[in-house]
Amino acid sequence: MRSEHLQVSAVAPGRVEILGNHTDYNEGVVLAAAIERAVHVRGSVRHDGRIALKSTSYPPVEIAISQLRPQPGEFSWANCPLGVASELLASGISIRGFSAAIESDLPAGIGLGSSAALAVATAFFLLKLNECELLPLELAKICQRSEHRFTGVQSGLLDQVTSIFAKTGQLIFFDCRPEQVRTIPFPDELALVVADSGVKRHLAASEYKQRRQETRAAAQALGVRALRDISPAQLNADMDLRALLRRRAAHVIGENQRVWRAVELLQCGDGAGLGELMNESHESSRRNFENSAPELDHLVDLARKQRGVLGARLTGGGFGGAIVALCRKASAYQTARDLASAAVQTFVGRPADGALARN
């Protein structure tokens, strides 16, 4: 029986994309890790059919469940949790009114999956509060739809999957076509250093949408359902593809190849090989996909010069945001300090656990 005074908390981590840049919406493969920065949602049931949201960073929002819709202007920060509530209702989950406080130590707008973490934390909170359950992948898709419909960002599924399925000390391998998830051990002697370039990303209004259109156009021109169906040799053999679309396709096709290779290397504990693939990925982002930025390139170049760093690349959608460096654990904190002069903030971590909720 439902408790009328139930207090629930939920937490969902952000993520770093290790390899697989812009492959998720092209039915490709991705390698990612949850990080030790997260979104926390805490609250309880209301009895008036209303939702009340508050945050330490934004103005409070209150709305009736029966009137759920995207909020404008300074209240748009709440669209992600409101969208989750709307999608759960549309999926047949009975959601009661609730009050929730949202806190986060996960930086927003720098490519670490902050909006997905907020959606996942809200979903875990609401399912626990209403004593309901959903399969993890189904829940990831609900969170994805909430972003599509309430925030206008046509994101792939990687961020939500990583936040939900993540395990300590494990990377998440996600094959986006069959939607299969498995974990890959992360070498014990390695760590991840994240550095924020200070250039904010605004995916709904950025070139992200354009890149989706370009990769779709490349697949159509090559006569395939998605770019994962083309090998590098097949791409090179097609002389008719426009130069711009060729570069976009080369990035996605190459990223898929790098992810598959990384899985092989990690099974052998080859961290140095993974670092080289990360370096290759960033060069492809810079040259072929043009989703880097001078500030990101500078941080990547600086990171590669540090002792113990095996590789570095932008992480997430690009066009600003953060980089991730793979380095020896013993050198990680010194690397973070050395990058701090060129970054807004830096932090060190290893793959973390996924989302959870508790009373």
Torsion over CA of 318, 324, 326 and 332, rounded to 10 degrees? Answer: 170
Domains: count for the chain: 2
Active-site residue among 24, 159, 175, 338? 159
Both tokens of 2, joined, read: 């439902």
Q: Do residues 57 and 171 share a domain?
A: yes
pTM for this prediction:
0.94
Co-location of 73 and 138 in the same domain: yes
Q: What is the CATH number of the domain that holds 222?
A: 3.30.70.890
Question: Is 129 part of a structural domain of the chain?
Answer: yes
78 and 150 housed in the same domain: yes
CATH code for position 127: 3.30.230.10
- H and E: helices and strands count for the chain: 10, 12
Let me know: does 115 contact 145? Beta carbons within 8 Å.
no
DSSP tag of 140: H
154 burial class (0-12, 13-18, 19+ CB within 10 angstroms)?
middle
Catalytic residue at 297? no
Q: How many CA atoms lie within 13 A of 306 on its CB side?
A: 28
* Contact predicate 227/215, CB 8 Å: yes
Q: What is the pLDDT of residue 109?
A: 85
Is 302 part of any domain? Answer: yes
Compute the distance between CA of residue 265 and CA of residue 174 in angstroms, rounded to an integer. Answer: 16
Q: What pLDDT is stored for residue 270 in this prediction? A: 96
Residue 104 and residue 190 in one domain: no
Contact 34, 13 (CB under 8 A): yes
Alpha-carbon gap, residue 294 to 276, rounded angstroms: 21
Q: Tell me, yes or no, whether 146 and 106 share the same domain.
A: yes
The reply to whether 191 and 82 lie within a common domain is no
Decide if 157 is inside a domain.
yes
pLDDT at 260: 98
Domain hosting 246: range is: 186-349
Say yes or no: 55 and 141 in one domain: yes
Residues contacting residue 213 through CB under 8 Å, at least 6 positions apart: none
- Predicted confidence at residue 151, as pLDDT, reads 86
Q: Say if residue 110 is in the same domain as residue 199.
A: no
Assigned domain for 268 exists: yes
Does residue 1 lie in a domain region?
no
Residue 207 in any domain: the answer is yes
CB 13 within 8 A of CB 38: yes
Q: Are 180 and 24 in contact (CB under 8 A)?
A: no
In terms of domains, do 20 and 107 share one?
yes
Q: Clarify whether residues 92 and 217 are in a common domain.
A: no
User: For residue 139, what are its two tokens?
Assistant: 């829940």
Q: Does 2 reside within a domain? A: no
In the chain (359 residues long), the average pLDDT of successive 10-residue segments reads 72 98 96 97 96 95 96 95 97 95 93 94 97 96 94 86 98 97 97 94 70 96 97 94 98 98 96 98 98 96 97 94 97 97 95 96
